[in-house]
Amino acid sequence: MTTPPPVSSEHDDAPSSGGRTRRLVGVFVLLALTVFAADQLTKVWALANLSERQWQPLIGDWIQLTLVFNPGAALSFGTGMTWLLTIVAAGVTAVVIRSARRLGSRGWAIALGLLLGGALGNLFDRFFRDPGFARGHVVDFIDYFGWFVGNVADIAIVVAAGLIMLQTVRGIRLDGTRESAPQASSELEGAPSTDSSGA
């Protein structure tokens, strides 16, 4: 008879007590607010100092600065569905905030904090920038190799996606628990031993 694999946790990602959860939620909120502030402040700077279709080198010709008003999603996809993208971004924001109540992992707290800050940064543009409420264009100004133009919020979202994938590959759940023993090992431990001597 086999038993299901035990669930364990690493020292840094142990299931949270009430105090640990509050600390992780604090990290999550602080990081989200920091990303949001950095995103909006850099956009204010870009609007005051950059012009459309004019490029300023930042790291050689690889990464340059220019002003772009993006009505669509990443890489300017969905330019005719700004209102729909606003709804999707608002939904993602709500899900992330709700998920924070279960935080028991520092890695997840950082990932979700980055994700929330980035989502709020671009969502603010959708709601409050021209041409109108829920139809605003996102301010982008960092040109990567001439392939696409993004902003600080986009950087945070990409880093968050990478951290989420890493946590998933490591098997760490949102509450910090993880499976430490595969099913095969449990089956071997429960199997009867055999004597290879033939005696």
List CB contacts of 158: < 8 A, sequence separation 6 or more: none
**Which is nearest to 181 in space by CA: 4, 5, 3, 1?**
5
pTM equals 0.78
By annotation, the residues acting in catalysis are 140, 154
Q: Which pLDDT band, with edges at 50, 70 and 90, does 72 fall under?
A: low
pLDDT averaged over every residue in the chain: 82
Going by pLDDT thresholds of 50, 70 and 90, the confidence category of residue 73 is low
The mean pLDDT of 110-128, rounded to a whole number, is 95
| pLDDT one-digit tens code per residue, 123-169 | 999 999 998 887 889 999 999 998 989 999 999 999 999 999 999 99
3-state SS string for 95-150: HHHHHHHHCCCHHHHHHHHHHHHHHHHHHHHHHHCCCCCCCCCEEEEEEECCCEEE
70: buried, middle or exposed (CB in 10 Å: 19+, 13-18, 0-12)?
buried
> Could you read off the pLDDT of 90-104 as tens digits, one per residue?
888 999 999 998 999
For residue 131, is the peptide bond before it cis, meaning its omega torsion is within 30 degrees of 0? yes
Residue 15: CA atoms inside 13 Å, Cβ hemisphere, count?
5
